[in-house]
Each structure stands twice: as structure tokens, then as C-alpha cells.
Amino acid sequence: MSFPQPYTGFPEAKYHKLTLAAEGVLLLSFNRPPVNAWIDPKWRELAEILRTVRDDPDVSAIVLAGEGRCFTAGLDLNEQSLSTIVAELPDAARRAFAMRGHIRDFQEAISWFEHVEKPVIAAAHGVAYGLAIDIMSACDVRYAARTTRFSIKEVDVGLAADIGTLQRFPKIVGNDSLVRELCYTAREFDAAEAKEIGFLSKVVEGGREEVVDAAIKTATIIASKAPIAVRGTKIYLLHSRDHSVEEGLRYTQALNSALLQSDDMPVAMLAVMQKQTPKFSKL
């Protein structure tokens, strides 16, 4: 099979471009020109795509990017769907429940980058504002082109970030003072600073093509590894983020008692001894 080729697992995608970039690697690109701004149907479609990919044995790793001139500029400020729904309700309590449900569904859509249980590498270029930080914070690995500009933009449009940045970003960066500065001021920071504070693991010279290529190379390596081991590792890392060391160890005991019974370990060990490339069953 030659690559790249269109991904046929979700042919009805309207706001996203889906490509099999390499063996086991899905390139998932935001595709809503000119700046990949987010509207209600776009994030609902994203959640459906990730649900599909979770159960697709032909995909072992995901590269996330933006088509066109940027990763994403965040929410489309002209979006009226929520205000229209709220306006039709008779009182404040009912409007509050409707708004709460909308926020919950939006949060859950972005959390699917974790629920998918397959490593996701974000490859940013151009601008990555607002919701971009929510999204990248939910990804496993974050790369960016040298000229990428970031901003936790929500306070500039009159709201507190509510889709995951305030919960995930502080745990990634680990500098409480800086987190508060960036969240309170919405100031831009560049890729060099993003790497310095630990938000990015790699800054790539060039633009979209170069950073996506770098992400695909890493994703291809991940996709070549034992799928049980990779998926288990992601599950354990996510669990450990929100639990104590002791709780994480006990969780690993329970799940690994099953995972260690897979064929992947003897296949991998034999390949190492024979200095061959292992061939694993799909998951």
C-alpha cells in the first residue's frame, strides 16, 4: 500500500480532512477556511471522527494539524447556535441548564483526544489561539513550527476558558505564576517560549509542511510499536496524571495482569533477539 491516501473510515467529514499519511498513521486536519474557526457542528463532527478512529485497527497514531494558514484561531465569534437555543427558553434556570449541557458536550468532544486511547501528536503552525490551547493540551505530544504564535485568548473575548485549558495546561507547564500570567493577560507567546516552559517538545524550522512531516515521522515510529503496549502506556499516563503514585501502581497491577497475556511481548522479544522488525496483530 502506498501513502498518503484518503482515509475512508469517515467519508462524510465536512470540517476535517482525513488522510492515511503512513502505515497506521492518520493525519487529521482542521479544514474550515480561512482560519479553521470553530462552530458547533465542527466540534460535534470531531467527536464522531475520534469515536470512529478509536475502534479502527488500521489507525495506531494520529497527527493533528490545520489546513491553510494556521492551526486554528479558536472559536468563530459569529457563531449564534447557542444564543439562539438559549433565547427560546422561558427563564434563567432553563437557560442555565441548556448552557451547561452545551459546555459539557463541548468539553467531552475535546476530551476525546484522550478517550481515543491512541497517541495524538499536535503539529501547529500559524496561530494557535484560544480553543487551540484546549485542544493541544489534550494531546499527547505537541510540536510547532518556529513562527507559530500562541495565546490563551479567552479573557480577551470576555470569558474564562472552559473547555480544558485551565485544567490541563497548568499540569503540563508546572509554573503556576506563568500559567496565571498567560491566562489573565491573553498575551501571545511564541514557539520558543512554548518549548521553554514545557508546552512543546519540538520546534521545527519552516511552516506547516515541515512540522507535519516531523510529526508524521514520530507517529510512524509509535505506530510500529506493540499496540497493546502503546495503548496501555497512554491509559496509565492519563490515570497517573490525576492520581497518586500508589493509586497508579495499583491500577497498573490490575490492568497489566491482562495486558501481559497478549502475544505482543513474545513477538517483540523474539524480534529483538533475531534483530528483525516485529510484526504485531492490529488492535
The pLDDT value given to residue 87: 80
Sequence-separated (6 or more) residues with CB below 8 Å from residue 278? 226, 267, 268, 270, 271
User: Has this prediction a pTM greater than 0.85?
Assistant: yes
Q: Counting beta carbons within 10 angstroms of the beta carbon of residue 272, is it exposed (0 to 12), middle (13 to 18) or buried (19 or more)?
A: exposed
Q: Cα(114)–Cα(58) distance, rounded to whole angstroms? A: 18
Place of cell 427563564: 91
pLDDT digit string (tens) for the chain, length 283 residues:
799 999 999 999 999 999 999 999 999 999 999 999 999 999 999 999 999 999 999 999 999 999 999 999 999 988 876 677 778 888 989 999 989 999 999 999 999 999 999 999 999 999 999 999 999 999 999 999 999 999 999 999 999 999 999 999 999 999 999 999 999 999 999 999 999 999 999 999 999 999 999 999 999 999 999 999 999 999 999 999 999 999 999 999 999 999 999 999 999 999 889 988 999 999 9
The pLDDT value given to residue 249: 97
Q: Counting beta carbons within 10 angstroms of the beta carbon of residue 263, is it exposed (0 to 12), middle (13 to 18) or buried (19 or more)?
A: exposed
DSSP designation for 16: E
Our CA dihedral for 91, 96, 97, 102, rounded to 10 degrees, sits at 130
The pLDDT value given to residue 86: 77
The pLDDT value given to residue 114: 98
Place of cell 489534550: 138
Q: Structural domains in the chain? A: 5-223 (3.90.226.10), 227-274 (1.10.12.10)
Q: Are 173 and 179 in contact (CB under 8 A)?
A: yes
The pLDDT value given to residue 205: 98
The pLDDT value given to residue 223: 98
Residue 63 host element (H or E) = strand 61-66
The pLDDT value given to residue 182: 99
Q: How many residues does the chain have?
A: 283
Sequence-separated (6 or more) residues with CB below 8 Å from residue 62? 25, 26, 27, 28, 53, 116, 118, 119, 120, 121, 219
Q: How many CB atoms lie within 10 A of CB 242?
A: 10
Bridge partners, 204 (sequence order): 145
The pLDDT value given to residue 78: 87
